[in-house]
Amino acid sequence: MSRKPTLAVVGATGAVGTVMLQILSQHADIWGEIRLVASPRSAGRKLAVRGEQVEVHALSEDVFDGVDVAMFDVPDEVAAQWAPVAASKGVVVVDNSAAFRMDPDVPLVVPEVNPHAARVRPRGIVANPNCTTLSMIVAVGALHAEFGLRELIVSSYQAVSGAGRDGVDTLRRQIQLVAGSELGTSPGDVRRAVGDDTGPFPEPVALNVVPWAGSLKDDGWSSEEMKVRDESRKILGLPGLRVAATCVRVPVITTHSLTVHARFEDEVTVDRAREILATAPGVVLFDNPAAGEFPTPADVVGTDPTWVGRVRRSLDDPTALELFVCGDNLRKGAALNTAQIAELVAKEFTA
């Protein structure tokens, strides 16, 4: 007999957790109990979900009793410790951290691209990709299904909220310091005005762009750049896909943007690419440069889809397309995709 499954939201008080609760209140009500979980210091707080005030429970082994699906939005080390605990109690874990993304026994799922992968989960865990990958992969996946992807060259323009609340607070402080000034007209003047208050960034982000996001990996690559490469390969089922990424932090609060050079197996046409993008689930084609119509973070923030514009065929390669894409890194880039995966799993309980 079908029933509504019980859902736990672990990390409910964080920035992405807050968006998760909004999404749960906006989407179809497929869940029975929704249990909110956070660190012990947040226990006892009440948060709004589905029009009700729900008390937050402290993260513990017992909190997963009777839970069918758990959405995790916690730091990597917390997920690494607690997701297997939940899974050992029969809970299907949908994890938004990086702890399990490249585990061969954990599927990495984008419901518009590879929903079938969510059904095979030897460890009882399904991973959610990184927000930068998610900002482009729905559009790229739709084009791959038609044309067969061979190579990706991307540059990301990443919002400061990708670095958490500290990133947002840092940009807001820096904006106040530089507002109404003549800064940005001589070498180092913004750096001197900001001083040591660069927050999670190596350089000031106000009046600036910073060609770095993540931590240092081999040969000068950053962790964000390697995530784009490794995760795109896994999601698309293309282990040999050639990918080069450069990740840049920009003075935008929320919504990542990327330029994408995608090379395919055969010759492509812009008309067919537009048809695919215009009808692909989770994609909005917004592309009329003559009228000044193309996606920007200021327009895309707070929306669910991947927005695509500036669709062109490469001037020197008839098998390649150039795109500009935007996606809200807190919604599709984190909370929404996690919720969509959980909804896929929930169907197993209601079938």
pLDDT band of residue 14 (cuts 50, 70, 90) is: confident
For residue 31, the number of C-alpha atoms closer than 13 Å in the C-beta half-sphere is: 26
In this predicted structure, which of 12-21, 85-94, 296-305 has the lowest mean pLDDT?
Answer: 12-21
Please check the confidence at residue 103 and state whether its pLDDT lies above 90: yes
Structure pTM? 0.94
What mean pLDDT value characterizes the chain?
Answer: 95
CATH match for 7-128+335-347 among 3.30.1330.10, 2.20.25.90, 3.40.980.10, 3.40.50.720:
3.40.50.720
pLDDT in tens, 28-79: 999 999 999 999 999 999 999 999 999 999 999 999 999 999 999 999 999 9
- Rounded to an integer, what distance in angstroms lies between the CA atom of residue 19 and that of residue 73? 11
Q: What local confidence, expressed as pLDDT, does residue 15 receive?
A: 83
- Rounded to an integer, what distance in angstroms lies between the CA atom of residue 312 and that of residue 38? 46
Told to judge if 256 belongs to the known catalytic residues of this protein, a careful annotator would answer: yes
Looking at 57, 144, 247, 256, which residue is catalytic? Answer: 256
Which CA distances in Å does 70 have to 220, 246, 270?
Answer: 36, 33, 41
Report which of 41, 220, 243 is spatially closest to residue 154, judged by C-alpha positions.
243
Q: What local confidence, expressed as pLDDT, does residue 9 receive?
A: 97
Going by the annotation, the residues of the binding site for substrate are 158, 249
Helix axes 270-279, 131-147, angle to 10 degrees: 120
Please check the confidence at residue 336 and state whether its pLDDT lies above 70: yes
Q: What local confidence, expressed as pLDDT, does residue 268 receive?
A: 97
Please check the confidence at residue 180 and state whether its pLDDT lies above 90: no
pLDDT in tens, 113-150: 999 999 999 999 999 999 999 999 999 999 999 999 99
Mean pLDDT of 242-247: 98
Main-chain dihedrals φ then ψ at residue 289, nearest 5 degrees: -60, -30
Q: What local confidence, expressed as pLDDT, does residue 226 receive?
A: 97
Q: What local confidence, expressed as pLDDT, does residue 2 receive?
A: 66
Mean pLDDT of 193-200: 94
**Assigned CATH class of 133-159+209-327:** alpha beta
pLDDT band of residue 243 (cuts 50, 70, 90) is: very high
For residue 275, the number of C-alpha atoms closer than 13 Å in the C-beta half-sphere is: 7
Looking at 131, 144, 247, 326, which residue is catalytic? Answer: 131
Please check the confidence at residue 1 and state whether its pLDDT lies above 60: no
Q: What local confidence, expressed as pLDDT, does residue 3 receive?
A: 79
Write out the H or E segment, with its range, that includes residue 12: none
- Rounded to an integer, what distance in angstroms lies between the CA atom of residue 351 and that of residue 336? 23
Please check the confidence at residue 201 and state whether its pLDDT lies above 60: yes
Percent of residues, the chain, with pLDDT higher than 90: 94
Told to judge if 131 belongs to the known catalytic residues of this protein, a careful annotator would answer: yes
Q: Where are the domains of the chain?
A: 7-128+335-347, 133-159+209-327
- Percent helix, strand, coil in the chain (nearest 5)? 35, 25, 40
